[in-house]
Amino acid sequence: MKWFVNGRQKQTAKASSAYERCEKLEKQVLKTFNVAPIDGVLDDQIQHKIDMKTKPLGALGGLESIAFQIARIQNTLVPSVNKAKMIVFAADHGAVAKGISAFPQEVTPQMVGNFLAGGAAVSVFSQQHNVPLKVVDVGVKVDMPDHPLLSQRKVAYGSKDFSETAALTLDEVNRALEAGAAEVTDAVDEGVELLMFGEMGIGNTGVSSCMLSAISGVEAKQTTGRGTGLDSEGVSKKALIIDQALQRAASELNKPAGEWAPWEVATQVGGLEILAMAGAMLRSAELKKPYVVDGFICTVALLFAKQVQAEVVAYAIFAHQSNEQAHQVLLEAFDATPILKLDLRLGEGSGAILSYPIIQSAVTFFNNMASFEAAGVTNVS
């Protein structure tokens, strides 16, 4: 299966003029980010430092790739990820009423409360690794009480049912992108060197599948999985609802999925927490900070971010391959080798925080492991 991630698919001649009008409108209305390519001026020195450690060439495998990427992003031979932060974005989705999730919508605020109380997986793992956690309400259906770990950035009380109407307005899309960007700006102002992102929103696996189909043109039956535990009948129902959303939007836009501009994908079938993650990724890259991509939902957020600004991918570290059926193919389309494969399907950023000690180890060997010359060891490579 060949999925599209390297720029927009070529539109048909029939849709060409309409597409060009959309392009012009998009430039006027969708929030923009200025992500610079990584210049690579230190690439040779970084690789030389890795190769001269007291080990055979390439013997530390993926750790060497992680170390190279972080040193390259930070443009230094002494990289650091000692100060990290986990940011979890939360929102609800109107299509849950149609049955795209095994769980009811009231679980979203309940789980947000669990995050804040320290009882969720991402909470305990963040505590284990001494990483501060921030939960960001961008679209939970109810008002959450103030809490030191909660950032109140509500854009709307959830999205609309995308099988019946556009999920979001353009203003809501931009405010979600801005919410994610603002959280990253605040974190970097605090001195954070590595960002990790997660999400909470009942139904957001289905919304992510719909966004993936909208961007790639791949049929819903290939992008839809079990999410939080749907049986085969439930998966088929979810795919049918996603198909209805795609057909409705295609009729409204007068062009098929796979040919929509980013703002059209976002308004027609987007989710607020997914878009906030995309904004956070774009802002991280804009500020030249590495960030960790969690599972399927987070990877779809990156796919959307790539449609906005292609250079954003170079700053991404892929944490794990989830148990969602479309995630492996999506990772392959990114040519990404994730750090972990534990059959996780929890979300929350749980895979991202679990990958953190491995990322730390990559930087530690790069900075502290002796070279052949310093250790007086003969280099036979």
List active site positions. Answer: 348
Residue 81 corresponds to which tokens in the numbers above? 């990820």
**CA 113, chain centre distance (Å):** 22
Neighbour tally for 243: CB within 10 Å: 18
Closest CA to 322 of 294, 301, 303: 294
Helices (H), the chain: 16-29, 43-51, 62-74, 107-117, 121-128, 170-189, 204-216, 220-223, 232-253, 262-269, 272-286, 296-308, 327-333, 350-368, 372-375
Q: How far is CA 300 from CA 124, 265, 272, 275, in A?
A: 25, 12, 13, 10
Inter-residue contact 198 to 88 (CB < 8 Å): yes
**Dist. CA 206–CA 212, nearest whole Å:** 10
CA angle 347, 350, 351 (to 5 degrees): 95
**Dist. CA 107–CA 269, nearest whole Å:** 21
Neighbour tally for 66: CB within 10 Å: 25
**Dist. CA 300–CA 143, nearest whole Å:** 27
Residue 48 corresponds to which tokens in the numbers above? 């030389």
Closest CA to 81 of 329, 317, 339, 380: 317
Which residues touch 119 (CB under 8 Å, ≥6 apart)? none
**Dist. CA 278–CA 272, nearest whole Å:** 10
